[in-house]
Structure 1
């Protein structure tokens, strides 16, 4: 009796683990390369510290309790500002997406505000709101608002007209049309906007904490610069990268679960 030699396709869980392992290859290779260059005195340690020294700095910060204080402060600011900005972006994105009149009144102003650099808002927010948490949260909310607003507006306006006509044929109300036709069709754009907004939220929190803060990862960056400690600066940058990746992965997980119905191209090859 002949046995089939056809190979079975890899299981989804196995493919997922393999993909995750591949994602670690480049960061690990870079860390090893930097460690080798610094230990070989090819790169001055006072400019680029060895990863082992950065790890020791992070360990010392964790033991002293400073690490949790700075990470917790930045996380809370990003979470609050992102929630506020993304929520407003969704509300205005739906409103402008459904109404040409609202677009005529609001969109030109939004496009002008979007062009203002983040640091240009800082002195104005400090004058208006003081130096407590409010200007920091507002600055992050500004950064989160525009990617969500633009993505959702584009998603709604790119919905196939035939889908809207079918909804109207079934006598869906305006709210029912939004809930059952427009928003589901615009979800891929919305998640793209949310991921971009979250990335900008981490950038804006650093801008806010560099100027007016006594704790947070942006403050840690500023403290490392003022005390000439590159290990502290690199440690703060690595923490921002890790936290940004973890929060982005959370939104991507929700996106995957929410868009399971979508049959889209996932790229060629294994």
Structure 2
């Protein structure tokens, strides 16, 4: 597992390095700021002109930040949406329920707004359940214990590499009744008027080092999901077998996606 993990990291590292090199070459002749890497390189040049020490504003920091944006900001949302579409097809009644909320709250002519989520509890509950049951990031990034630590009966010596097992938490039967069942209603209040995200649902980790992109990710997931269901009825050819096997890269993704049919919703 570690060899595969290292290989994947090296592939991403090369991709990011190539992008930084390409931007640096372009930046020598053109100072137009198109994206984050351009802006970072421009700021570095401005600091050089002002004789400001490089400090942490280094090319290594640029590569680490770009890698984080790439891995956490696009791959994870993309993977989550792949799983979401699979579950929309597997449970068409849930797709109808989300479309019913769209009809009541947004309509089919208006564009959705993230603020609409407050009146669409089932839609949010569906997103939460996709995040839980598929655990897009099954394990957190490697951390290092800064001091000797004791957790329960376990002693963790200083400098030990540790990894947070999200999959274990998200499938713990002590936390989730019938954890292998896909059930969005587990997040709804008794009257179904609100979706409540419990503290044990941690798709973005927790504590001081939780993912800073959590807020943006929820905006993207909500808007992408609602826009699709608002316009299309998603299905597959009759008799198509759905597979929920996963492959591992930066995130857990479906191993075999069927040919999805996006049928225009007519009103």
Normalised TM-score (structure 2): 0.29
Higher strand share: 2
> Rg larger in 1 or in 2?
1
Normalised TM-score (structure 1): 0.29
Higher helix share: 1
